[in-house]
Copies of this chain bind each other. A is one copy, B any other.
Amino acid sequence: MTTRRRGAELEQAILRAAADELRESGYAGMTMDRVAVRAGTNKNAIYRRWPHRAALGIAAYRHLSDAVMPNPDTGTLRGDALEMLRRANETWSSPHGAILRGLLAAAAEDPALLELMRERSGAATMDRAWLSMLERAVARDEAPPAAAHPRVATTPMMLLRAEYAMRGIPTVPDEVLVEIVDEVFLPLVRGRA
C-alpha cells in the first residue's frame, strides 16, 4: 500500500465495492462488512459518509447504471411502443433490475428513500419519452390529439411494473408486452377521439 486513500478517492472505492456487491449478491446480500473489506477499508469510513445501509445501496446503485433510454423511432406508434417496452423489459429483467427491485422493497417503508430512488431511476425521463412518442404519432395523424396525455403515456410502463410485482419475475414474456400494446395501449389511444 503506497499511500493511504482519502476523500473522494476512498469514496469512489467504497462505491465501486458496494456496486460489485450489489451485482453479485443483490441488495439483500450486500453487507456492510463485506463492502468494507472489498473496498480495502473498514465500516467507519462508510458510516462517516452514509447514514445507513439503504443510503449506501441507493448511492451505489446509481454507480451501476447510467443506462440511457433513447427515443426509438420506428415510424409507427405500435412499433415505438413495443420497442420501449422491450427495452425496459430487458433492463428490468437483468440482474440489474433484480437489484433495483430489492432496493425498492427495502425502501418501501421509508418515503424519503423512495423519493431518492425515483429521482435516480430515471422514471421521469422515461415518461417524457413516451409522451413525445405520442406527440409524434399525433403529428403523423396516427392518433387523436387527446391521446397525448400524461396518464396515457405512463400507462404501459405502469402495467409492466405491475406485471413484475405480480409474478416472481425473471422476465415478462414477450406475448405480454404485445398484449399490453395491442389490447390496452392502442385501443386506449384510439378511444380518446
Are A155 and B167 closer than 8 Å at their CB atoms? Answer: no
Residues on the B chain within 8 Å of A166, using CB: 114, 118, 123
The answer to whether the Cβ of A106 comes within 8 Å of any Cβ in the partner chain is yes
The answer to whether the Cβ of A173 comes within 8 Å of any Cβ in the partner chain is no
**Interface size of A as a range:** 35 or more
Q: Which of A90-126 contact B (CB under 8 A)?
A: 101-102, 104-106, 108-112, 114-115, 118, 123
Are B168 and A162 closer than 8 Å at their CB atoms? Answer: no
In the bound complex, what is the Cα–Cα distance between A152 and B168 (angstroms)?
A: 22
Are A165 and B109 closer than 8 Å at their CB atoms? Answer: no
- 9 tightest Cβ-Cβ pairs between the two chains A and B: A191-B191, A111-B168, A187-B191, A158-B162, A190-B191, A105-B105, A188-B188, A151-B183, A105-B108
Q: Which residue of B lies closest to A190 (CB)?
A: B191
The answer to whether the Cβ of A35 comes within 8 Å of any Cβ in the partner chain is no
